[in-house]
């Protein structure tokens, strides 16, 4: 197991092609345990493709992903949450007619140890697990200020609140690494400020390492310890927010090459 400051996640020489497009080209970087890392890059740079490789939705053609020092590309997709990697999606993936509480609880079932038969028979072990899950769901609902709407169907809530529900649902799997795909997308200024402190709370209070893909530069640069910049599927910068913000290749990628 990685100790604080060591790499929790290492991406090594990761490549993937779609037809003629090289979406990721020998991408490599590491994320230290207990840190907040931001992944930036212009549209089409490969950020979502990288997330999809990390959550095993895509299979890279080359390279390796190590989590806690162990390769995970051979792990079946449904084991990823149980290994300790959670994620949220750019487009919310919630059960819209279900309540906030039920959406959060449902996310926790992949971590439950009791088997199918034990569930069917409602054995005491299952009842204990269900009770622990309910308690954890309420804790996360409180952490994310969702207490007042716990019984409300998700479809009836404003977008910003739904995004918090998705965050709570991703956290109930007790991930060591949380992948956030554009958490600030569609949020107003005040909600982005709240999101910044929530991401810090998640790291500081729950001890979760965070990797976020985000276009909102102010959020990425103020919340991250490390920023990795991609362009055309390649890592063009990897360092502190100040280093990456001042990097010539990053400035060129965002502003375009100066006219000849």
Shortest distance, CB of residue 64 to ligand ATP, whole angstroms? 19
**Interface with ligand ATP, residue 45, by CB under 6 A:** yes
Residue number, 48 or 103, with CB nearest to ligand ATP:
48
**Smallest gap from residue 232 Cβ to ligand ATP (A):** 9
CA 1 to chain centre: 20
Q: Is residue 148 a contact residue for ligand ATP (CB under 6 A)?
A: no
Q: Is the dihedral of CA 157, 158, 160, 166 positive or negative?
A: positive
CA gap 164, 144 in Å, rounded:
6
Contacts of 241 (CB under 8 A, 6+ apart): 38, 220, 221, 222, 224, 227
- Report the candidate in 167, 174, 164, 165 with the shortest Cα–Cα distance to residue 112: 174
Q: Which residues contact 29 (CB under 8 A, 6 or more apart)?
A: 10, 11, 228, 235, 238
Place of tokens 């006219």: 259
**Strand pairing report for 85-87 and 70-71:** unpaired
Verify binding: residue 21, ligand ATP, rule CB under 6 A.
Answer: yes
Q: Could you say whether residue 14 binds ligand ATP (CB under 6 A)? A: no
Q: Is 184 in the site for ligand ATP (CB under 6 A)?
A: no
Six token digits for residue 227: 């920023």
| Whole-number Å distance between alpha carbons of 25 and 8 | 22
The answer for residues whose C-beta is within 8 angstroms of residue 107's C-beta and 6 or more apart is 168, 169, 170, 172, 173
CB of 209 to ligand ATP, least distance (A): 21
Q: How far is the CB of 222 from ligand ATP (least distance, A)?
A: 20
Q: Which of 44, 153, 185, 186 touches ligand ATP (CB under 6 A)?
A: 44
The binder of ligand ATP chosen from 46, 84, 86, 175 (CB under 6 A): 46
Residue 172 sits in the site that holds ligand ATP (CB under 6 A): no
φ/ψ of 258, rounded to 5, equals -60, 145
Q: Judged by CB under 6 A, which of 9, 11, 14, 23 binds ligand ATP? A: 23
**Residue 49 in the binding site for ligand ATP (CB under 6 A):** yes
Residue 18 is a binding residue for ligand ATP (CB under 6 A): yes
Residue 42 CB, nearest distance to ligand ATP (Å)?
7
Helix (H, G, I), strand (E, B) or coil at 41: coil
Contact between 173 and ligand ATP per CB under 6 A: no
Specify the stretch interacting with ligand ATP by CB under 6 A; choose among 43-51, 108-116, 188-196, 221-229: 43-51
User: In the complex with ligand ATP, which residue's Cβ is closer, 93 or 122?
Assistant: 93
Given the rule CB under 6 A, which residues bind ligand ATP?
A: 18, 21, 23, 41, 43-49
């Amino acid at each position: 197991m990685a100790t604080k400051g060591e790499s929790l996640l290492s991406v090594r020489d990761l490549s993937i092609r779609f037809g003629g497009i090289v979406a990721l080209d020998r991408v490599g970087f590491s994320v230290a345990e207990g840190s907040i890392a931001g992944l930036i890059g212009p549209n089409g740079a490969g950020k979502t493709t990288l997330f999809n490789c990390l959550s095993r939705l895509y299979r890279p053609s080359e390279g390796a992903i190590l989590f806690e020092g162990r390769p995970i590309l051979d792990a079946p997709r449904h084991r990823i949450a149980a290994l300790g990697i959670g994620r949220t999606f750019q487009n919310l993936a919630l059960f819209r007619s279900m309540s906030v509480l039920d959406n959060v609880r449902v996310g926790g079932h992949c971590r439950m140890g009791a088997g199918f038969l034990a569930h069917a028979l409602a054995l005491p072990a299952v009842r204990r697990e269900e009770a622990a899950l309910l308690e954890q769901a309420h804790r996360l609902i409180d952490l994310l200020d969702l207490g007042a709407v716990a019984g409300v169907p998700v479809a009836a809530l404003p977008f910003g609140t739904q995004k918090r529900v998705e965050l709570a649902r991703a956290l109930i799997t007790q991930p060591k690494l949380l992948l956030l795909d554009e958490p600030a997308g569609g949020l107003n200024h005040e909600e982005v400020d709240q999101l910044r402190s929530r991401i810090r709370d998640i790291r500081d209070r729950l001890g979760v390492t965070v990797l976020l893909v985000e276009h909102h530069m102010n959020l990425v640069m103020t919340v991250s310890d490390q920023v990795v910049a991609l362009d055309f599927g390649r890592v063009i910068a990897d360092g502190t927010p100040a280093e990456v913000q001042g990097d010539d290749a990053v400035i060129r990628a965002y502003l375009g090459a100066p006219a000849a």
